[in-house]
DNA sequence: CAGCTTTATGATTTAAACGTCATAAAGCGT
DNA sequence: ACGCTTTATGACGTTTAAATCATAAAGCTG
């Protein structure tokens, strides 16, 4: 239920997953975030890159935030149950 | 040594901190990441927002990645020693 | 299948970031 | 204070994303 991201595509997938987890449509999220449904579609599918402003607008609307972490660390599985 | 980010400015601070932690100048990071020194300066100080592509180029050059996390969770202090 | 909802795609306009160059300002060691 | 390094700022042109509108495609559900 936590996502690691090393590319815009990863972020898109994380957003989609979080959105669906909250049972929101792209339109719902568009209303909450002020970002267009069309833009959300493009971000989630990774067809277009985004600006970080847009990214944070979506994350905020989904009650998410980012953590900046070193790439080299224990296996992800170890952390699964912490969050 | 891990940073949480809810805004472009937070990301900039995290990048600066990570860069300094590795004793790299903006110019060094520019060479490694392919992003201009001037751009890095603007990102770190938060004067301009960025594209996620640029963000990930910098994170990759610093051996960092992102984690997408829910905002509501245990105090950050609890996690400090995990990463 | 038909109809409705949801998501994807495509074009156009507008706005903003990036590369680029130049240069100023700030830091730092001697 | 004087250089040298590092970082910041400003301007300009090019590239790219977001808004916007239209519409197509995909997913459901009866």
List the single residue in A with minimal CA-CA distance to B72: A63
Distinct helix (H) and strand (E) counts, chain B: 5, 2
- Is the confidence at residue B82, as pLDDT, over 80? no
- Is the confidence at residue A71, as pLDDT, over 70? yes
Q: List CB contacts of B28: < 8 A, sequence separation 6 or more.
A: none
Distinct helix (H) and strand (E) counts, chain A: 5, 2
| pLDDT tens digit sequence for A30-69 | 999 999 999 999 999 999 889 999 999 999 999 999 999 9
Model-level pTM? 0.89
| pLDDT tens digit sequence for B1-50 | 678 999 999 999 999 999 999 999 999 999 999 999 999 999 999 998 89
Q: Is B65 on the interface with A (CB under 8 A)?
A: yes
Confidence of residue A73 (pLDDT cuts 50, 70, 90): low
Q: Do A5 and B82 touch (CB under 8 A)?
A: no
Q: In what order do the strands lie in the sheet with B3-5?
A: A3-5, B64-70, A64-70, B3-5
Provide the strand spans (E) within chain A: 3-5, 64-70
Taking contacts as CB-CB distances below 8 angstroms, the residues of chain A near B16 are none
């Amino acid at each position: 239920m936590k996502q690691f991201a090393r590319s815009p595509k990863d972020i898109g997938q994380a957003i989609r997953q979080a959105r669906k987890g909250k049972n929101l449509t792209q339109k719902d999220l568009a209303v909450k975030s002020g970002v267009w449904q069309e833009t959300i579609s493009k971000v989630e599918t990774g067809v277009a890159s985004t600006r970080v402003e847009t990214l944070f607008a979506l994350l905020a609307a989904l009650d998410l935030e980012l953590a900046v972490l070193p790439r080299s660390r224990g296996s992800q599985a170890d952390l699964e149950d912490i969050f």
